[in-house]
Amino acid sequence: MIISKADFTALLGAKHATPHSVLGMHPLKFRRSKGVVARSFIRSAVACDVVDLDAPPPVSFPMKRLAPEGLFEVFIPRRPDVFRYQLRAVYPSGEIRQFFDPYCFLPTLGAQDLYLFNEGNEHRIYEKLGSHVRELGGVGGVSFSVWAPSAARVSVVGNFNHWDGRYHPMRSLGASGVWELFVPGLGEGELYKFEIRDQRGHVRLKTDPYGTYFEGPPNNAAIVFDTRNFKWTDDAWLERRRQQAGKLDRPMSVYEVHLGSWRRIPEDADRPLSYREFAVQVADHAVEMGFTHVEVMPLAEYPFDGSWGYQVTGFFAPTHRFGTPADFAWFVDHLHSRGIGVFLDWVPAHSPRDSFALAEFDGTHLYEHADPRQGAHMDWGTLIFNYGRNEVRCFLNANALAWFDRYHLDGLRVDAVASMLYLDYSRQEGQWIPNKHGGRENLEAIAFIRGVNDLVHRYHPGVAMIAEESTSFAGVSKATKDGGLGFDYKWNMGWMNDTLAYFTKEPVVRRHHHSNLTFGMLYQYAENFVTVFSHDEVVHGKASMLFKMGAWHIAEKAANLRALYAHMWLWPGKKLLFMGSEFGQAREWAHDTSLDWHLCQYLDHEGVRLLVRDLNRLYTSEPVLGENDFNPQGFRWLTCHDADANLIAYVRSDAAEETLFAAVCHFGGVTREYRVGVPRRGFWREIINTNSEFYGGRGLGNTGGRNTEDVERDGFSQSILVTLPPLSTIVFKWSEQP
């Protein structure tokens, strides 16, 4: 036995930190003879030969079995240099396999890759770390690499070695903290994990942080998958998107969906739709309804259905629940072919504590802060990323870019931004650590957010970065060069909360809450706002949008909801509506059951759907509405003080006021004849009336429109006398003549 006792024991005990120094082929002077020594460690093999592929016919060199576990060794004299070879192993059944030795290949990562990764500037590190189908020297296989700087030993394990960490220990690439191994002969479909032995001798089994595909719980193994093979057909879409870079004020009406509960198939065990099934059906629905984008709640792999995808364990992998990564790519490609953009919820704010995932990955707090005052999320029981660590920042930056590179997404809606911005978020005194200036802002997270937004815009001009940010942090949607965070849009949580607080009240008491309708205009143009009614508003006992409405009867609730939606679509800001809300779903949303599509047979629900469809068509077809959401010259109050009438009215226009729309919103419970001042003489055509019989209302209205009269009102020299049904919004468009 040439191998040292220490190396022998370390290999058999799965404790060897430098396996490439022992396994494989190495020059050696042995007993005064120069040659090479070859060693292999092959599970269950009873015999093994080294096959010289360079010999004119190939020559075999039998190896000596040093241990029944499958450790073999041979010294080949008079061969001063290593040569190209394969191993030929014999198994107890008599089966013979010949293959290339994993320990004869050079590293698949170069010094520059590792330097940039440790510096935090390898923007596409997902092309290097993780698993990748590739060829090395004409030999096909899979390269595996993982960052685990504090590990004592790392092995890749899978079906190919019976999940035994002794047989494919990985090579440490020095101070980079990266471990690497190329395994020839493997391909797509292999299941694998990383077995990590920490410095205390504890062994943990971890899934690949950069894995592109995963099996489901409880095993959660990564699956080798080559994302480069999908054939895209959306070049024209991507070019149009690129040409729109910088034009943020364009029509954007977003349909937010949870893929697992949008529609299920009851005759097939109530299963959810696959990515491909969903693509066709949701595209049909979005096109018919006039939505410009579909926003999908998180689809990065997650173990627990009840988290809705917001507790991610596979940041680079579309969840297995609905198909393969290629199926997800097909979903995006199909929606693009139908003219629909795709946004995805992205969750860089935290990760769960599941033992197989990122938590204490190499036995240390690698991805998360060690101090719970910085690293533990108080609300969700999850862990907060250490945004100041270069490699963690590199991981998250690359993750954002990977969704655009691999899946052609049109935007990321970034979840829980407020929890990233503030060190004291949801914490009591003494539960948080101030920043270096003594403040509460998380300076490292802020720097990360600015950096990732700039990177996304640099590499993918025309895509959108959208913040769910619930505080008044300044400059969320301002460019980083102007001191902002660099997002394109911000969800308008203030408008949503105030407006719903108003509409949950019964009409008789709404006059005491009139400021809830008007306060939002004080800050409306401080950010590029998206006006939202999202999934968060229809769960956890908050009631559905329909049942929030302050009324006793379904018909009155539906009237309230129609009036609210028309106000929302005429109010400045891009639009977002959660699935089911477009037809007035009655019950709260449940993640594990289908929406109640059968309700659309009833006019109280179908009328809401028809109105949303018509509002989208109006919004997307009229530049005054879809291209002036961020133009403060495009909004003017007509009246905002009549709390007793439960009424507001305003005008939307272009800067020159050549095209004008007036929204008269009457949220009281009685019919009124009401005079409204308007800025132009002429005919104001009634184009939307939420009380129309077509939408399920009573049909009260203004017989097609109203001519102005020279009666002063609200500071205008002319006005129109309008009939206002109860719980209604009426939209007028100005023209010089009827």
Question: Which of the following is catalytic: 190, 362, 410, 468?
Answer: 468
In terms of DSSP bridges, do strands 300-301 and 293-296 run parallel, antiparallel, or are they unpaired? unpaired
Average pLDDT of the segment spanning 544-560: 95
The CA-based angle 445-451-454, given to 5 degrees, is 145
**Is CATH 3.20.20.100 what the domain over 111-229 is classified as, yes or no?**
no
How many C-beta atoms lie closer than 10 Å to residue 199's C-beta? 11
Residue 262 has pLDDT above 80, yes or no: yes
Q: Quick one: pLDDT at residue 656?
A: 82
pLDDT single digits (tens) 348-389? 999 999 999 999 999 999 999 999 999 999 889 999 999 999
- For 495-505, write each residue's pLDDT tens digit: 999 999 999 99
Q: Residue 398 in contact with residue 122, Cβ under 8 Å? A: yes
User: Residue 254: its pLDDT value, please?
Assistant: 98
How far are the Cα atoms of 3, 8, 160, 161 from residue 15, in angstroms, in the given order?
A: 15, 10, 20, 17
pLDDT at 145: 98
Tens-digit pLDDT profile for residues 392-415: 999 999 999 999 999 999 999 999
Task: Enumerate the CATH 3.20.20.80 domain ranges in the chain, comma separated.
Answer: 252-298+320-384+446-456+470-624
468 carries an active-site annotation: yes
pLDDT value for 700: 96
Chain region(s) in the chain for CATH 2.60.40.10: 5-101, 111-229
Residue 551: pLDDT band with limits 50, 70, 90: confident
Looking at the predicted structure, is the pLDDT value of residue 229 above 90? yes
The model's pLDDT over 574-583, given as tens digits with 9 standing for 90+, comes to 999 999 999 9
Tell me the two tokens of residue 353.
Answer: 């504590």
Q: Is 122 part of the annotated catalytic residue set? A: no
| pLDDT value of position 58 | 86
Question: Is the model's pLDDT at 494 over the cut of 90?
Answer: yes
Nearest to 305 by CA among 272, 342, 349, 337: 272
Q: Where in the chain is the domain with CATH 2.60.40.1180?
A: 632-735
Residue 31 has pLDDT above 80, yes or no: no
Q: What angle (nearest 5°) sits at the alpha carbon of residue 305, between those of residues 303 and 308?
A: 105
pLDDT for 105 beyond 90: yes
pLDDT in the model for residue 1:
86
May I ask the CATH class of domain 5-101?
mainly beta
How confident is the model at residue 657, as a pLDDT?
84
* 33, pLDDT greater than 90: no
At 57, the pLDDT band (50, 70, 90 cuts) reads confident
Where does 252-298+320-384+446-456+470-624 sit in CATH, by number? 3.20.20.80
pLDDT at residue 492, rounded to an integer = 98
Q: For the chain, count helices (H), then strands (E).
A: 16, 36
29 has pLDDT over 90: no
CATH number of 632-735: 2.60.40.1180
Q: Name the pLDDT band for 628 (thresholds 50, 70, 90).
A: very high
Ramachandran region, residue 162 (left: φ > 0; alpha: ψ -120 to 50; beta: rest): left
Strand 253-257 and strand 293-296: the pairing is parallel
Candidates 190, 327, 345, 415; catalytic one: 415
Can you give the pLDDT at residue 560? 98
- Cis peptide bond upstream of 218, omega within 30: yes
Q: Are 92 and 53 in contact (CB under 8 A)?
A: no
User: What local confidence, expressed as pLDDT, does residue 32 receive?
Assistant: 78
Residue-level pLDDT at 736:
85
Q: Is the pLDDT confidence value at 310 over 90?
A: yes
Report whether 26 contacts 37 (CB < 8 A): yes
Average pLDDT over residues 278-290: 98
Q: Record the pTM.
A: 0.95
pLDDT at 398: 98
Mean pLDDT calculated for residue range 580-605: 97
pLDDT value at position 649? 98
Question: Which ranges of 474-572 does DSSP label H, i.e. alpha helix?
Answer: 493-503, 515-518, 545-548, 554-570
Q: Which of 559, 562, 566 is nearest to 687 (CA)?
A: 566
CA distances from 129 to 143, 146, 328, 707 (A): 9, 6, 22, 68
Average pLDDT, stretch 71-85? 92
Mean pLDDT of the chain: 96
